[in-house]
Chains A and B, each alone.
Chain A
Amino acid sequence: MKFQGYFVEDIPRRKFLELSLKGGVALAATPALLRSLLAGDTASRPKVDLEDLNRVIRHALSQGGEFGEVYIEHRISRTILLEEGKFKSAVFGISQGAGVRVLSGDKTGYAYTDEISQEKLIRAAEVASFVARGAKTVKPVNIKVDSRPSYITVKVPLQTVADEKRLEIMKRAHDAALAYDARIKMASINYYDEVRSRVIANSEGLYLTDDLPLLFFIVQTLGVGSNTSHMGRERLSRHSGIEMFDELKPEDAARTCARESIVMLEAKDAPAGKMDVVMQNGWGGVLVHEAVGHPLEGDNIARETGVFVGKLGKKVASDKFTMVDDGTLPCFRGTTNYDDEGTQMKRSVLIQDGVLVKFMTDILSAKQLKMERTGNGRRESFRNIPIVRMTNTFIDRGKDNPDDILASTKSGLYVQSLSGGSVNPTTGVFNFTCREVYLIENGRKTTPVKGATLIGSCLDVIQGIDAVGDDLDFGPGICGKGQAAEVAAGQPTVRIRGINVGGSRAR
């Protein structure tokens, strides 16, 4: 295990740990915690009232400490796998639990319980209070029901959808993939949905509750050629009802995926060495998510280890580079109404025209850095402490014409899609594995190449971006930083000068 590595996963984990919500407004709470989520969908629903939560928070701060919090979560999930023409498995999950957190200076105490009862919550509060023994105490404010605006809308709630409908959507993708080309020998369709309900109560008097729906649809296709094979991948995801598939058609995802599998059968060996790279709009934004986004997270700034320490207000990137983290984009995979600490979602411009203007924070790092809370405190589940995470992160739209960017690049590499990669946030050194890549020869996309890795350092890359298109687009993914988080990454078509490409042949 290397502690410092953050990564974006290529292959979906067997067990997805994601979120989701029923839309509308973040709902006002009723005295009984966790309202009925989905008719008939929940098992025994925990009963805790506001005064009980006040008592837990007071108990959490009884030894000392300046911030106490209770987080209660309930999640219903469905995973269905259609592979090799068979609905191989269907998995239903019921998960619930609560975590109690105490902050005291730079210290965090945390304990969680699967059983949501007053007795277990008090016990968790005791364990969490361990770190604050002897510290000065802040008197908690009694909690009061609050609400936040919502960025998630639902037309057809997931809980009203018959399983047959889910299967039909999967089958449409499966059939479209196999029909695309005779060389597509297998299609794998993974359907996931969930509804996550949250209750957040803290010693600042906050009490919030909502339900988040989430859909994640992954198509993989195997193309088999005369002497090689290639597994393609395409993903769809939104915080939304099942109507997502009216707009993002499963057949289109399947064909996009199948096309990649077939094209890459003709791929030649990639060249090795430094070259100019043009990256197509969309999920390629994951490169800046890793290379720039992680180092901009407030936790490593507060620790003074990150590559951007001491660089606030300074010019760090080319004039054309503006980077944003925006948790309010409607229904996006990285969107929520508020983060897992209850902080309002925001649009945060992190780098403006090349100048570093803001770091992303959670409650702890905001306090340590004396900066505003940006709504980036997120957690995988009640089993995890919230940490600073990105939401929907992207290079903002520029003014260049994407066709001109390609045409004005004499030679190099055209990266149509990336798998994922990782960064060391201390040094800013990153690596990326490409999915679909072409050579650029005389301003034109030519031969597809395989096995290309992009590596470099954060600052070199953002200083080397000399063209930014006007065609901003996004893709969904999973970000790993000890915990999994659902994110979106985006960018317009961009050109990066002189990036190191790892290929298997010398130029």
Chain B
Amino acid sequence: MDYKGLAEQLVKKCLKKGADAAEVYIENGRNLSLEVRKGEVETVEEAASYGAGFRVFLKGKMAFASSNDLGERALEEAIGRAIEFAKITTPDPNNVLPDDMGMTEIAGLYDPQIAQIPMEQKIDLAKKIEQLAMKDSRITKSDGARYGEAEGEVVIASSNGLVKSYRSSACSLGVSVVAEKGDQKSSGGEFCGARSYKDLKPAEEVAAKAARDAYEMLDPRPVKTPKAAVIFHTDVGYALLGGILGAVNGERVLQGASFLGKMMGRKIGSELVTLVDDGTLEKGVASEPFDGEGVSTQKRLIVEKGLLKGFMYNTIVAKRAGVRSTGNASRGGFTSLPGIGPHQFYLAAGQVRPDDIIKATKIGLLVKEVTGYGINPVNGNFSGGASGFWVEDGRIAFPVKGLTIAGTADEMLNGIEMVADDLDLSKRMAAPTFRIKLLQIGGE
């Protein structure tokens, strides 16, 4: 089906029905997911789906409607609903659509081969990764291995004359296992994602990580509640990054609901803190040629050597702030209005090796799992559950569980004193191993 043609035609229909300006966003695609447990296929899910979202503007008022019924009557109704709904919202001169006609060239976002690979091969891959993860005798139970794939097309057309589309694909592979010893249970899981089937990490590597995460946490010991250095493993970098993301959201900044709102151009972290948002990385799992409303994506420095350099904007919020969109309009699919979100958001790699950080730590906590919401984007407070390893005299001493760590974003970002070189960009939010000078740890 010619979705571009349909999108353009639907824009015209919106205007004909009374909109001053309109945008049509169409998604279509297919997905497959399968789960294997104890060597048998447990679940197979497959579907193709599509849908359209209509953003309409009427004398500065904005509303939105979506439908996954692309029949003529349903589309008519959805457009009518959007226009009726626009009449009740508040007019705002900032309610505009982008007019960026460009597209960022990014290679490797779509692999047409995925669909050609037979289902049996994918099932075998899931069976293999489960088997590999169960290999170690300390691993007693499987919580299943999963393979998933999706591919699809995004089409945007608007009354500003913009018509764009791109195709993308994604594969994922993961496994979860349980290690038991006496009454103890410990779970571990690992997952990897890529744009292409052949770029998935080797099953051996993913399986070994899942198993290790489970068994190495057996026999934990209690610790007292000191203030000590805290080393964040690459698995838990998101705990630092998530709250910062909320705080550099341009709309939160305008609302006064960001702890970074008044810090533009000022020092918010140590010299080692450089945060990047990149929507342009080749084969990147978070890359796209244009954002959720059609603005070309970029690679931007959000924090450079500790100085806050940029917030994130979509078109409407950018206009309100008097700046240009940064290509950070994010969409939860065809059913939602564009919000603000990151692409690949990461802490830039440093120079030392992760081992060097452990060796340089006299006493501290290496965190491998953090639970909770991370840094609060409104006030910068941080508190969460933690487990990992106790470090003594430059060596990993024993596993620790059921701890808490707490502090403020200020203490955390300014306290970063070592950053390793092990950045892995196969996940959307990523950080290399890094050490924070001192955080409050809670234990027994």
For residue B383, which residues in chain A have a CB less than 8 angstroms away from its CB? 270, 433, 451-453, 502-504
Q: Find out whether the CB atom of A84 lies under 8 angstroms from the CB atom of B255.
A: yes
Question: Is B37 part of the contact surface with A, judged by Cβ < 8 Å?
Answer: yes
Q: Select from chain A the residue with minimum beta-carbon distance to B191.
A: A1
Q: Find out whether the CB atom of A427 lies under 8 angstroms from the CB atom of B43.
A: no
Binds A, one of B77-85, B98-106, B392-400: B77-85
Binds B, one of A111-119, A148-156, A210-218, A235-243: A111-119
> Interface digits, A99-137 against B, CB 8 Å rule (1 contact, 0 not)?
000000011111111110000000010011011000000
Q: Find out whether the CB atom of B176 lies under 8 angstroms from the CB atom of A3.
A: yes
Question: Is B47 part of the contact surface with A, judged by Cβ < 8 Å?
Answer: yes
Binds A, one of B5-13, B57-65, B348-356: B57-65
Q: Find out whether the CB atom of B384 lies under 8 angstroms from the CB atom of A91.
A: no
Chain B residues in the interface with A (C-beta under 8 A):
37, 40-51, 62-69, 71, 73-74, 77-78, 81-82, 85-86, 88-90, 92, 119, 141, 143-144, 146, 172, 174, 176, 178, 185-187, 189, 191, 225-227, 255-257, 259, 332-333, 335-337, 339, 371-373, 376, 378-379, 381-385, 387, 401-408, 440-444
Contact of B78 among A94, A272, A273 (CB under 8 A): A94
For residue B42, which residues in chain A have a CB less than 8 angstroms away from its CB? 106-108
Closest CB of chain A to B113's CB: distance in Å?
A: 21
Chain A residues in the interface with B (C-beta under 8 A):
1-5, 10, 13-15, 43-44, 78, 80, 83-97, 106-115, 124, 127-128, 130-131, 163-164, 167, 185-186, 222, 224, 228-231, 270, 272-274, 303-305, 307, 383, 385, 419, 421-422, 424, 426-427, 429, 431-433, 450-453, 455-457, 500-507
Q: Can you report 11 A-B residue pairs in the complex whose CB atoms are below 8 A from each other? A: A3-B144, A14-B339, A43-B71, A86-B90, A88-B92, A90-B64, A107-B44, A127-B46, A383-B47, A426-B143, A500-B442
Q: Find out whether the CB atom of A110 lies under 8 angstroms from the CB atom of B90.
A: no
Known: A114-B49, A224-B256, A500-B442. A89 touches B189 (CB 8 A): no
Q: Find out whether the CB atom of A44 lies under 8 angstroms from the CB atom of B37.
A: no
For residue B333, which residues in chain A have a CB less than 8 angstroms away from its CB? 15
Q: Find out whether the CB atom of A94 lies under 8 angstroms from the CB atom of B371.
A: no
Q: Select from chain B the residue with minimum beta-carbon distance to A425.
A: B187
Q: Find out whether the CB atom of A228 lies under 8 angstroms from the CB atom of B68.
A: no
Q: Find out whether the CB atom of B443 lies under 8 angstroms from the CB atom of A110.
A: no
Q: Find out whether the CB atom of A92 lies under 8 angstroms from the CB atom of B71.
A: no
Query: Cα distance A15–B337 when bound, in Å?
Result: 9
Query: Cα distance A167–B61 when bound, in Å?
Result: 15
Query: Cα distance A401–B400 when bound, in Å?
Result: 38
Known: A91-B337, A107-B41, A107-B42. A43 touches B69 (CB 8 A): yes
Given contacts A15-B335, A87-B89, 20 further A-B contacts (CB under 8 A): A43-B67, A43-B78, A84-B255, A89-B337, A90-B88, A92-B64, A95-B68, A106-B40, A110-B44, A115-B69, A128-B44, A167-B88, A224-B256, A272-B225, A429-B385, A453-B383, A453-B385, A455-B404, A502-B406, A503-B406
Query: Cα distance A120–B329 when bound, in Å?
Result: 34
Query: Cα distance A401–B66 when bound, in Å?
Result: 51
Q: Find out whether the CB atom of B90 lies under 8 angstroms from the CB atom of A88.
A: yes
Closest CB of chain A to B290's CB: distance in Å?
A: 19
For residue B227, which residues in chain A have a CB less than 8 angstroms away from its CB? 506
Query: Cα distance A507–B440 when bound, in Å?
Result: 11
Q: Find out whether the CB atom of A89 lies under 8 angstroms from the CB atom of B371.
A: no
Q: Find out whether the CB atom of A419 lies under 8 angstroms from the CB atom of B373.
A: yes
Contact of A15 among B85, B225, B336, B373 (CB under 8 A): B336
Q: Find out whether the CB atom of B46 lies under 8 angstroms from the CB atom of A451.
A: no
Known: A92-B81, A452-B383, A453-B383. A421 touches B90 (CB 8 A): no
Query: Cα distance A451–B40 when bound, in Å?
Result: 45
